[in-house]
Amino acid sequence: MSIRRSIDQGLRDSRYGIVVLSPDFLRKGWTQWELDGLVTRQVDEGEVTIPIWHRITKDDLMKHSLSLVDKKALSSSLFTVEELAQQLSSVFDAG
């Protein structure tokens, strides 16, 4: 199976997509393509995208995606890895 088909299948079969928004994420084209897939699902199904901001500011994100700036997000600068995991776990348990 091709990488593209594997990504498409993963996006289709998952309940949520955790998107780590970082400077590297914003630089790469294929990450934008994956995000587009999650946004398409979100239009049809509701909230499926869980953003985590990592080494990125609101101003950085506004240059690339105004629609992501308003989404509730976790931040790696505010939480430890363990706290992020607990926050994510609570989302999964509720869903």
Which residues are registered as beta bridge partners of 75?
A: 53
Q: How many CB atoms lie within 10 A of CB 76?
A: 17
> At residue 47, what is the residue type?
E
Per the annotation, the verdict on 34 as an active-site residue is yes
Q: How many CB atoms lie within 10 A of CB 48?
A: 18
Catalytic residue among 34, 45, 47, 83: 34
Strand order through the sheet with 17-21: 17-21, 49-53, 74-75
CB 68 within 8 A of CB 38: no
> Could you give the residue numbers annotated as active site?
34
